[in-house]
Amino acid sequence: MSPDSAIFTPLLLAALVFFAVSCYKRFSLVTIGRTEDRFDAVGTRLKEMFLYAFGQLRVVKRPFGINHFIIFWSFVILLIANGEFLVNGVFPGVSLALLPEPLHRVLLLAFDIVSLLALVSVLLAMGRRLLLKPAYLDSAYVKARSVEGFLILTFIMLLMLAYFGLHGVKIAMGQEDGAWMPVSSVAAGLLSCASPGGCAHCCLLPWGAGFWWAHALVLIAFLCFLPMSKHMHILTAIPNCFFRSLEKPNTQPREEFAKGMSYGAGRVDRFTWKDLFDGYACTECGRCQDACPANATGKSLNPRQVVHAIKTNLLANGPLLRKGGEPLVPLIDGEGEGTNTEETIWACTTCGACLEACPVFIEQMPKIVKMRRHLVQMEAKFPEELLNLFENMESRSNPWGIAPTERTKWCSTLAVKQFEAGETEYLFYVGCAGSFDARQKHVTVALATILDAAGVSWGILGKEEKCCGDSLRRLGNEYVFDRMARENVKLFTDKGVKKVITQCPHCFSTLKNDYRQYGLELEVVHHSELLQDLLAAGRLKLTKQVEELGKVLFHDSCYLGRHNDVYEAPRTVIATATGAAPVEMERSQENSFCCGAGGGRMWMEEFSGTRINHNRVDEALRIEADTICVACPYCMTMFEDGLKDRQAGETKVRDIAEVVAEGLRPA
């Protein structure tokens, strides 16, 4: 029934050439990025690709994800049907009918059912965008891009309708067996009823030709439009899952410092090729935006806009940079498309929610840190309040600029020993907050008391202890972080430190993950994990259950949970100490909402939108808990400040170590 191949063949060839040239122009720009090895552990990468790209594991976890799952697999299965359609248009004698009859019938049934599922899913997707639109699909950014989304959905809908119409005509004319095509058989009945009396064959031929050309032209239009649109992710999302970071992106690439070098990403070719490929893989689904605490509280940061701006900048500047020219569109602090403002870059808390939410493993947060590095190290441009922080870190190795001799004041009434290699099993790395912050000192004392009660062999570095440098690295001051990391690595090596206990998730993550880049392999344990192990082993025996805390709510720290997958340990500790599992936040575990202090934001003010800690505190107050339990000094500060601002003094904040220490007191 296909029309003259002499007309269709040149159209298809032209479309294929346009498609190939367009793809080449875009993909070739990725090569201007810096090198990065994403081809290691091929077996593991293939497994992850099948789980997350074909299995759509992250997609189906979210509401409405099953609808996209159906559209995705319909697209994959119908590639066979559409491939046959195109080949048959050029070579009319070639079709799936040449296959063994049982296999051909199974394929016909599959194509018919899958086409119906695709049509229903597309209609549901359109209805959702029009009638049940979630907040992250209702922003000005999305509205500007929604025409393209509706166009793609319309293409798919037209393809399905043309498919049913074409095969309905064939069935009505006796050219196909309708027994294996139930939906197309219904279409055949409708078309037969719509045809006037007389020669049904003559009446149906124009319908058949019309459906055939509708199907052909939509396929050709889709082919030409695909590489020019955001739906290029149809080609790139699967390989992007293959190229995903096999480790959590909870650290940053190390930089080597030498005179005349450029640091960070101040223009688009300073990113890696994978950073640039991410832009093509972005589906612009909005999940990262929905998860972002900065965006939720009215800041200018929108993770998907950051990725979109990098892609747009690459398309604008890439051809010039490939020829050795200079970029025309600034990457940072420009106006319009293809640029990110400084305000946007500094709004990130590095909580990792965007990384956790992205179905195709785009790495939004690391790109922001790379741009921070450029601003700090190449232009010395950063928020004014960070000047004191940077100076204090350089001169006295702590955020407050307090004398190092003050680090041991918290233990002035305790018999605390210095760490001695061969005699002491664990180094208790107290951290800056645990040493200097008045509130966190209580947690430090509680943890020291617990360690002694459990018979743990531990010691401290005292005034020799230095800041781990977490905030410096996340704020982009890599040069000072590098110096501090080297000093700490030398100190730990000279002291013979092998095992470390931390009470701060930021210290925990930095010592465990970042310092590996400097060749230091430590057994780092967060106090929540240690407490769980001590209680489970019976080394720590509580004298009573802590019931006076009332209704206990637990908040997940981003750097303990999302960045390092420690979720159950603090919950188990609370349940053991109080006799009841803690109440969960509305947003918890991998979907937890940041307190607002990560990424160096602890040392910065919030001048736009509402405060992130207020958002989280309000969520806690809705649950009407008596006590909010945390396992992070930053979270402690942000919750206590938020409760004061909300005049909710009756709600208390406790670290899990304080809860356990209370259980050691006489009943």
Distance CA 536, CA 541 (A): 10
Distance CA 618, CA 627 (A): 14
| Nearest by Cα to 354 from 305, 298, 299, 314 | 305
Tens of pLDDT along 281-303? 998 888 999 999 999 999 999 99
Residue 192 confidence (pLDDT):
75
DSSP states of 628-665 as a string? EEES-HHHHHHHHHHHHHTT-TTSEEEEHHHHHHHHHS
Q: Across 190-303, where does the E strand assignment appear?
A: none
Burial of 422 (0-12, 13-18, 19+ CB in 10 A): exposed
Residue 375 confidence (pLDDT):
97
Q: CA quadruple 32, 37, 41, 44: dihedral positive or negative?
A: negative
The two three-digit tokens of residue 492, written as one number = 């730990």
DSSP 52: I
Distance CA 524, CA 61 (A): 31
Helices of type H across 457-608: 470-474, 478-495, 505-512, 527-537, 568-578
Distance CA 178, CA 75 (A): 23
Residue 661 confidence (pLDDT) above 90: yes
Read off the pLDDT band of 532 (50, 70, 90): very high
Residue 444 confidence (pLDDT):
98
Residue 1 confidence (pLDDT):
56
The answer to whether 398 and 467 have CB atoms below 8 angstroms apart is: yes
pTM for the whole thing? 0.92
| Nearest by Cα to 89 from 1, 174, 164 | 1
User: What average pLDDT does the segment 93-111 reach?
Assistant: 90
Residue 665 confidence (pLDDT):
86
Burial of 420 (0-12, 13-18, 19+ CB in 10 A): exposed
Parallel, antiparallel or unpaired: strands 627-630 and 652-655: parallel
User: What average pLDDT does the segment 241-262 reach?
Assistant: 89
The answer to whether 599 and 573 have CB atoms below 8 angstroms apart is: no
The answer to whether 249 and 366 have CB atoms below 8 angstroms apart is: yes
Diameter of the chain measured on Cα atoms: 106
- H helices then E strands: how many in the chain? 27, 8
Residue 194 confidence (pLDDT) above 70: no
Q: How many CB atoms lie within 10 A of CB 468?
A: 26
Distance CA 436, CA 206 (A): 84
The two three-digit tokens of residue 83, written as one number = 């491939």
Helix (H, G, I), strand (E, B) or coil at 609: coil
| Nearest by Cα to 176 from 117, 86, 120, 95 | 95
Residue 615 confidence (pLDDT) above 90: yes
User: What average pLDDT does the segment 254-258 reach?
Assistant: 88
Read off the pLDDT band of 370 (50, 70, 90): very high
Residue 201 confidence (pLDDT):
60
Residue 443 confidence (pLDDT):
98
C-alpha torsion 440→441→445→450, nearest 10: 20
The answer to whether 381 and 341 have CB atoms below 8 angstroms apart is: no
Give residue limits of the domains in the chain.
5-242, 268-378, 387-664
Helix axis angle, 65-90 to 140-172, nearest 10°: 50
Among the ranges given (13-17, 42-46, 148-152), the one the predictor scored with the smallest mean pLDDT: 148-152
Distance CA 440, CA 388 (A): 22
Q: Which residue has the tokens 């509402």?
A: 610
Tens of pLDDT along 634-658? 999 999 999 999 999 899 999 999 9
Q: Which residue has the tokens 């004191």?
A: 388
Instruction: Give the CA radius of gyration of the chain.
Output: 30
Q: Cα–Cα distances in Å, from 16 out to 5, 23, 224, 480?
A: 16, 10, 8, 52
User: What average pLDDT does the segment 506-527 reach?
Assistant: 97
User: What average pLDDT does the segment 382-393 reach?
Assistant: 96
Burial of 389 (0-12, 13-18, 19+ CB in 10 A): buried
Tens of pLDDT along 270-283? 999 999 999 999 98
Distance CA 522, CA 648 (A): 41
Residue 230 confidence (pLDDT):
83
| Nearest by Cα to 609 from 600, 599, 620, 596 | 596
User: What average pLDDT does the segment 541-555 reach?
Assistant: 94
| Nearest by Cα to 627 from 568, 579, 574, 586 | 574
Tens of pLDDT along 422-467? 899 999 999 999 999 999 999 999 999 999 999 999 999 999 999 9
Read off the pLDDT band of 141 (50, 70, 90): low
Residue 202 confidence (pLDDT):
64
Residue 557 confidence (pLDDT):
98
Residue 197 confidence (pLDDT) above 60: no
What does residue 500 show for φ and ψ, rounded to 5 degrees?
-130, 135
Residue 145 confidence (pLDDT) above 90: no
Distance CA 509, CA 525 (A): 10
Residue 142 confidence (pLDDT) above 70: no
Parallel, antiparallel or unpaired: strands 652-655 and 523-526: unpaired
Residue 357 confidence (pLDDT):
94
Distance CA 422, CA 184 (A): 79
The answer to whether 164 and 189 have CB atoms below 8 angstroms apart is: no
Residue 391 confidence (pLDDT):
97
Residue 401 confidence (pLDDT) above 90: yes
Domain 268-378 top-level CATH class = mainly alpha
Comparison of pLDDT for 381 and 140, the residue scoring more = 381
Helices of type H across 173-228: 182-194, 200-225
Distance CA 374, CA 93 (A): 61
Residue 140 confidence (pLDDT) above 70: no
Residue 231 confidence (pLDDT):
86
Residue 143 confidence (pLDDT):
56
Residue 474 confidence (pLDDT) above 90: yes
pLDDT, averaged across the chain: 92
User: What average pLDDT does the segment 521-532 reach?
Assistant: 97
Residue 392 confidence (pLDDT) above 90: yes
The total number of residues shown for the chain amounts to 667
Residue 62 confidence (pLDDT) above 90: no
Distance CA 171, CA 174 (A): 5
Percent residues over pLDDT 70 in the chain: 96
Most confident of the ranges 330-344, 409-423, 572-586: 572-586
Helix (H, G, I), strand (E, B) or coil at 427: strand
Residue 410 confidence (pLDDT) above 90: yes
Residue 138 confidence (pLDDT):
60
Tens of pLDDT along 317-361? 999 999 999 999 999 987 788 999 999 999 999 999 999 999 999
Measured in Å, how far apart are the chain's first and last C-alpha atoms?
88
Which residues are 426's β-sheet partners? 458, 499
